[in-house]
Structure 1
């Protein structure tokens, strides 16, 4: 089994179920926001494979999973807006990606290595019957109104280990259930290969400024 844990996040699973239940009708667009709270250590980035293969690859898998079709074309931009020194690796810290499937379904992914307000993870699925939206997580849902602030809220959870803690538990349960029942694994190396193919094509698109066939 391949550990693409975003598939096992309870909120993401509800999005997928809403699609399968027909709540949004025919999926037309998927919008993914994926922003880390800060740059990883330089030594990690040096060996990470780059933002498309290391960070955005989770979003590529999520896109495939929610679109229900394989992307066939990718356009991408990569920039160094947080740390210009990443050019020496070379790598990017800010990316935008557009994916298109054969039937014309679209996915937009925006990613950043630095969001000063916390771990920003949101997914929107838009279809012929409506839309479903997955919001960020916070320590509590409490809101405050004072003479100085309006709707002040707790900050976002600050790291993926906090935000996706439940997904790792659900993922492990899925793995053990497949072993015990001798049923197919819920995510396989094939999913990894296909996501990596998209990542490689996105990197080529960012470097060349051209749309790349997947």
Structure 2
């Protein structure tokens, strides 16, 4: 890992929190972050769409970055209930999650759509957090490396680099199953991801 690469701690709030809840949590996180004299990490919160503006006001100046949980590939148009990357940027977002396992599963999103969303994010000066990871069935069938590499190469825009892209590996089979990946398993997948990024973008970007 390059020496200037800082750890990113990202909180995905998912579909949780009404206005009062979001305000209280954002305030607590902001106060805690402001108390850090010299943090060695970056922090990001991704609240639901309904809380983005309010949370953004509360954490402003705290050092916590603001993000969203998804965006539409199009910049605007007849896409009822969808949110564009440009709209998120207008609200003050710096990051957006794309390709989360719950979007891939619940909404049938494929790599091509995830890539289009990441491209839209980058075009709006947002950092795209591209999520990848294998299911329990895929893991038990020994397909972890194949699935992860396929998702990564299929979801990664050509315009990606370390300034506009974050890769988030989440072993889907470890969510709510009581099964936990070993350090060795995670390190092997991380090595695969880094090698794939090196091939696609160059060693200095991996």
TM-score by length of 2: 0.30
Instruction: Judging by fraction of residues, say which structure has more helix.
Output: 2
Instruction: Judging by fraction of residues, say which structure has more strand.
Output: 1
Q: Quick one: higher RCO (CA 8 Å, sep 6+), 1 or 2?
A: 1
